[in-house]
Amino acid sequence: MTHNEKNSPVRVGIVGLGTVGQGFLRLLLTNQDLYRQRLGFPLQLGGVCERNHSILQSLALPSDCLVFSSWEDMVKDPRITLVVELIGGIEPARSLILAAMKSGKSVVTANKALLAQHGEEIFGAAASQGVDLGFEAAVGGGIPILRTLRESLAGDRILKLAGIINGTANYILTRMSREGLEFETVLAEAQRLGYAEADPTFDIDGVDSAHKVAILAMMAFGSPIRLEEIPVEGIRHIKPIDLEFGREFGYVLKLLGIAVDHGDSIDIRVHPSFLPENSLLAEVDGVFNAIELSGQFLGSLLLYGRGAGGDPTATAVMGDVMECARGIQHASRGQVPALGFHVADRVRKSLRPLSAIYSEYYLRFMAQDQPGTLSYLSGVLGERGISIESVIQKGRQSGGSVPVVVTTHRATESQIRNALSVIDASDHVTEKTVVIRIEDVSMEGPLS
Ligand code: HSE
């Protein structure tokens, strides 16, 4: 295990100098005095490892900064005291982190996909090696949600949380809603402006939000979570017409990650949700993120801020690096478990299937504009115990089909799917019905 002489510098090694890596580098080189004052010892740039030579050449690295051509060399080099992994993806990030821990080094990472998929292995390795693992930057960019869960709220039982945790999806939904634009138009614009990744699949299909909500739930509820069991739905299928109808009902659409602890089981999911327009999360627009949660004694809490971007995310990485550096300097590593729960003392709770989830629903039927259609639709819903809250029907359209929008009172997903399997197979509708859940994310209310 790496030990440090009293007040000698902690030397940071960075693997991966992309957007977040460069932001972190700037922060480290700019705020040296601040870190010295806050820590009581120097935090130094020990070395970097980046395969892209043009990136390396574009950076003004200090002359004493080591440049490694392989991460293997960096993690075992005794001149590097702690390792910051910012390459993303599964491999070689996983091997790198495990190797660094095996060398007794604490690790900081922003790698949500890796922790969501291989968290058990990595959290287990941190615990058994007695090193620290910081991953604040993996969820919510610059928003300090994970330390809040792990330390500030450690004394309370977290009951539920809901978050807008993907900036790209939120930017797309915000512009579609404000300007009545189609999904594809805004996505292309987001890519042109550099907000969305060249391959934005994870952002728009909800996968990135699933990675993040899995990490949030692990930390909030102390249960391992199997990523593949989380129901995930993205925003590709969302049409401006539904955002417009939603507005008429007083709703705003957001892609949410939701997690509720029911005691013996957990409800965790990612999907677009209509929220009452006066709720706090409904007002989170553009690339911003927010996470709202409820603690048994605390009541509700909202954290809001920049969920992506090199500089905000770099501050989260730096907070972790400083915490790890203190652990190294004061020989107190591994005091706070990475997840805020001792790995071996956690209890695995089962995930509730989507079919058992209760919600209110927005249903848009493209209905034949003829006598009896409305009574047919309400009949099928009523026979399955689904109570209608309100209905809007718009004027006649070409082709003889008109949008009929129904909002329902609380029903289970299986009641709704059962009704729609009948309706969508009938001659009364011309298209597959659009289904959007309406969430009561009020954190003061009962568990739903
Ligand atoms: N791609 C993510 C987002 C940022 O759009 O929110 C990093 O987590």
**What pLDDT, in 10s, does the model give residues 311-341?**
999 999 999 999 999 999 998 898 899 999 9
Distinct helix (H) and strand (E) counts, the chain? 15, 17
SS3 302: strand
Residues 6+ apart with CB under 8 A from 142: 305, 306, 307, 309, 311, 312, 313, 315, 316
Taking alpha carbons only, the member of 68, 53, 58 closest to residue 12 is 68
Looking at the DSSP bridge assignments, the partners of residue 412 are 358
Count, residues in the chain: 448
In whole angstroms, give the CA distance from residue 225 to residue 195.
29
- Distance from the alpha carbon of residue 210 to the mean position of ligand 1, in angstroms: 12
The ranges assigned to domains in the chain are 10-141+310-345, 155-306, 354-438
- 64/79 Cα distance (integer angstroms): 11
- The Å distance, Cα 4 to ligand 1 centre, comes to 36
pLDDT of residue 441: 64
Distance CA 341, CA 225 (A): 14
**Residue 202 CA, ligand 1 centroid: distance in Å:** 9
Closest by CA position to 110, among listed 8, 178, 17: 17
Contact 369, 376 (CB under 8 A): no
CA of 107 to the centre of ligand 1 (A): 21
Which residue among 111, 114, 208 has the greatest number of ligand 1 atoms within 8 angstroms of its CB, and so is best to mutate?
208
**Among protein residues, the one whose CA lies closest to atom 2 of ligand 1:** 166
**Distance (Å, whole) CA 132 – CA 324:** 6
CB-based pocket (< 6 A), ligand 1: 166-168, 203, 208, 307-308
Q: Which residues make beta-bridge pairs with 367?
A: 402, 429
Give 363-414 pLDDT, tens digit per residue: 999 999 888 999 999 999 999 999 999 999 876 555 678 999 999 999 999 9
Q: Which atom of ligand 1 is nearest to the CA of 171?
A: 5
Q: Which atom of ligand 1 is nearest to the CA of 313?
A: 7
CATH superfamily of 354-438: ACT domain (3.30.70.260)
Question: Which of 20, 168, 171, 256 to probe ligand 1 with, by most ligand atoms within 8 A of CB?
Answer: 168
From ligand 1's centre to the CA of 264, what distance in Å? 32
Q: Whose CA is nearest to atom 7 of ligand 1?
A: 308
Sequence-ordered alpha helix ranges (H) in 237-372: 240-249, 310-329
Fold of 10-141+310-345: Rossmann fold (3.40.50)
For the chain, which residues score pLDDT lower than 70?
Answer: 1-6, 395-399, 441-448
Q: How far apart are CA 384 and CA 376, in angstroms?
A: 13
Q: What is the pTM of this model?
A: 0.95
The contacts of residue 47 (CB under 8 Å, 6+ apart) are 11, 13, 14, 65, 66, 67, 68, 74, 77, 79, 80
Residue nearest to atom 1 of ligand 1 (CA): 203
Atom of ligand 1 nearest to the CA of 112: 8
What is the H or E stretch that residue 117 is in?
A: helix 112-129
**Which atom, in ligand 1's list, is nearest to the CA of 165?**
6
| Phi then psi dihedrals of residue 128, to 5 deg | -75, -25
Q: Which CATH number fits domain 155-306: 3.30.360.10, 3.40.50.360, 2.40.37.20, 2.60.200.20?
A: 3.30.360.10
Fold agreement (155-306, 354-438) = no
Question: Which ligand 1 atom sits closest to the C-alpha of 169?
Answer: 5
DSSP per-residue letters across 179-210:
H---HHHHHHHHHHTTSS-SS-HHHHTTHHHH
Cα–Cα distance, 302 to 294 (Å, whole number): 9
Distance 334 CA to ligand 1 centre (A): 29
Contact residues for 199 (Cβ-Cβ < 8 A; gap 6+): none
Residues designated catalytic: 212
